Structure 1
Amino acid sequence: MSRRVPIEPQRVDAPLTQSATFLILSLTPDPSGGSTKTVRSVLSKLSDLAKNVAIRDLNAAFACTVGIGSGVWDAVTGGLPRPKELHSFPEVKGGVHTAVSTPGDLLLHIRAERRDLCFEFERQVMDLLGDAVSVVDETVGFRYFDVRDLLGFVDGTANPVGPAVPDSVLVASEDDSSGEGGSYVVVQKYLHDLKAWKALSTEKQEAVIGRTKWDNIELEDAEEGTQQAHKSLATVEDDNGEEQSILRDNMPFGSPGSKEYGTYFIGYSKRLWVIEKMLERMFVGDPPGLHDRILDFSRAVTGSTFFAPSSTLLESIDPE
């Protein structure tokens, strides 16, 4: 009787750290297949590369998660079955604001308590990948005070904790054997108009977010059929009325010198439709026409979807 090989997930549940790098890459077109072969080889050894960096400071909570885009899934995995829900990020166009869809074949979500460890790991990986990839976007995030975004509010309050984390983010074998141990990942880069935001009174800012600014207390929902706060529109229920959780590892980023301020949204979920429904509620509105008012101050400039397969699957794709 054969013994089933245990599935080892990636570190999608790694704790929020002081620093993070979000790296979006595209594979270089190569009719000979050399680029794909290089990428497969590097990704299959990613856990060993991570150990080489993590060992330098075991207290720094170093972790890296890699996501693979729909367009290159078949090539990068060598034709392994596709996760059921995997597809490219669909543009969400509301009456006023649009969640844009932008290119991206690979996502590297690198995080640690030390910025230098993130830098060193990225350097080693990019040296190995060489000309097989090009950089679409690179964003360096940082923890801001007590886990606040640059709008001044605590971010990630609704995240699952403890045993609820794997239940919310990891695909189970009974749901989809092709995606077992993996997680869908959606990323968006938002730029903030802080001048306009700061022109609002604290009470009006709290009404937009749905929480108090200082002590993070949840406010009552607005009446049904009226404009809802961000925290309400970002809450998704299934057909049975059960609330669906996702894991957000959002990070602020920016540069006062260039007057760029933003939030990098990254959401992990075992069900891609949950994040897509959340974005629909935000950009189209619920009811339609009443969009999330945070979008009047935060503009989405990127949008990509990936699937973070299990470490077990990644290690199996070595072309050698």
Structure 2
Amino acid sequence: MSRRVPIEAQPVDAPLTCAATFLVLTINDTPDAFKTVRSTLAGVDSLAKNVAIRDLNASFSCTVGIGSNTWDRVTGLPRPAELHPFPEVKGATHTAVSTPGDLLFHIRSERRDLNFEFEKQLIDALSDAVKVVDETVGFRYFDVRDLLGFVDGTANPVGPAVPESILVAQEDEGSAGGSYIVVQKYFHNIKGWRSLSTEQQKSIIGRTKLENVELDDADADKQKAHKTLATIEDENGDEHDILRDNMPYGSPGKGEFGTYFIGYTRRLWVLEKMLQRMFVGVPDGMHDRILDYSTAVTGSTFFAPSATVLAGLGDD
């Protein structure tokens, strides 16, 4: 009788940290590129331990996501049921763009230098097998606020609700212990946002600015607040959560201000429905007004397989 290997999830539910690096790569069509990628992914856990040991209190972790276009060649495993490229969502006014991405590394800790060291060793290992298409360094801003001044991630699940919301269950499909990931990089029009009154900003977000208290929903015939459009229910009225680990990023000297959105979910349709509600609107044409001041410049979908699957990728 064969023994069943226990499934160990990647650290998709790692705690919020002070620093993060979001690294999106494409795999080059060169000899041995995929062999190099598989070997590196199989060794990510060892590489992370090598960096984390330098400060055990820094909560260092790295989560790896694999994109739809290269899933088959990287893993050789059945495709997760919902995995597909990020679909462009085009509303009457705003568009959620779709951009390339074969691999995602979500690197996070309480120390920027640890993230830097891990990324350096990772890129050295991958060498010319990959091309960097986006590298964004995020930071915690005051009491977990975005650069628009509001607390971000309030609706995140907590406690036992976390694995239920973000980890694929055995009964769902053969990708148990994994998680779907959607990432988007947003540029903020800070000057335009600051031209609004605090009351106007609160109306757009759906929460008070200082206390982070949820406001009542708008009338049915008016544009709904961001917090309402980002709340997803199924046909039975059951609400489905995602786990956000968004980070502000930017450079005042360059006039660059933004939010890097990253959402983990057990059910990809939940995140895709959220984007439809934001960009197309409810009803159609009544888009999320935060998009009048925040422009999505990237959009990619990944699946984070279990750590057990990653560790086996080097067994060519």
- Give the shorter-chain TM-score range: over 0.9
Which of 240, 265, 269 is equivalent to 1:273? 269
Provide the residue aligned with 1:205 in structure 2. Answer: 201
Structure 1 residues 128-147: aligned runs within 5 Å? 128-147=125-144
Secondary structure in 2 matching 1:273: helix
Aligned residues: 316
Secondary structure in 2 matching 1:257: helix
Offset of residue 319 of structure 1: 4.4
Provide the residue aligned with 2:19 in structure 1. Answer: 19
Structure 1 residues 1-320: aligned runs within 5 Å? 1-30=1-30, 32=31, 34-77=32-75, 79-177=76-174, 179-320=175-316
Offset of residue 61 of structure 1: 0.3
Offset of residue 3 of structure 1: 2.5
Verify the 8 A CA contact 1:236 1:243 in the aligned structure 2: yes
Distance in 1 between residues matched to 2:104 and 2:221, nearest whole Å:
38
Verify the 8 A CA contact 1:191 1:300 in the aligned structure 2: yes
Give the AA of the match of 2:121.
Answer: Q
Secondary structure in 2 matching 1:25: strand
Secondary structure in 1 matching 2:191: helix
Distance in 1 between residues matched to 2:313 and 2:5, nearest whole Å:
16
Secondary structure in 2 matching 1:12: coil
Secondary structure in 2 matching 1:314: helix
TM-score by length of 2: 0.99
Secondary structure in 2 matching 1:119: helix
Offset of residue 19 of structure 1: 0.2
Give the AA of the match of 1:235.
Answer: T
1:199-233 Cα offsets, whole Å, 9 max, x none, are 00000000000000000000001122321000000
Q: Which runs of 5+ in 1 are unaligned?
A: none
Offset of residue 89 of structure 1: 0.1
1:65-113 Cα offsets, whole Å, 9 max, x none, are 0000000000110x21110000000000000000000001000000000
Secondary structure in 2 matching 1:268: strand
Secondary structure in 1 matching 2:29: coil
Would you identify which runs of 4 or more consecutive aligned residues in structure 1 move more than 2 Å? none
Distance in 2 between residues matched to 1:100 and 1:276, nearest whole Å:
13
Distance in 1 between residues matched to 2:77 and 2:153, nearest whole Å:
34
Distance in 2 between residues matched to 1:233 and 1:88, nearest whole Å:
23
Verify the 8 A CA contact 1:37 1:319 in the aligned structure 2: no
1:225-244 Cα offsets, whole Å, 9 max, x none, are 32100000001001110000
Distance in 2 between residues matched to 1:130 and 1:225, nearest whole Å:
54
Verify the 8 A CA contact 1:65 1:308 in the aligned structure 2: yes
Distance in 2 between residues matched to 1:176 and 1:154, nearest whole Å:
35
Distance in 1 between residues matched to 2:177 and 2:167, nearest whole Å:
5
Distance in 1 between residues matched to 2:7 and 2:219, nearest whole Å:
45
Distance in 2 between residues matched to 1:68 and 1:279, nearest whole Å:
21
TM-score by length of 1: 0.98
Give the AA of the match of 1:295.
Answer: L
1:13-66 Cα offsets, whole Å, 9 max, x none, are 001100000000000112x3x000000000001101101101110000000000
Q: Root-mean-square deviation (CA), in Å?
A: 0.7
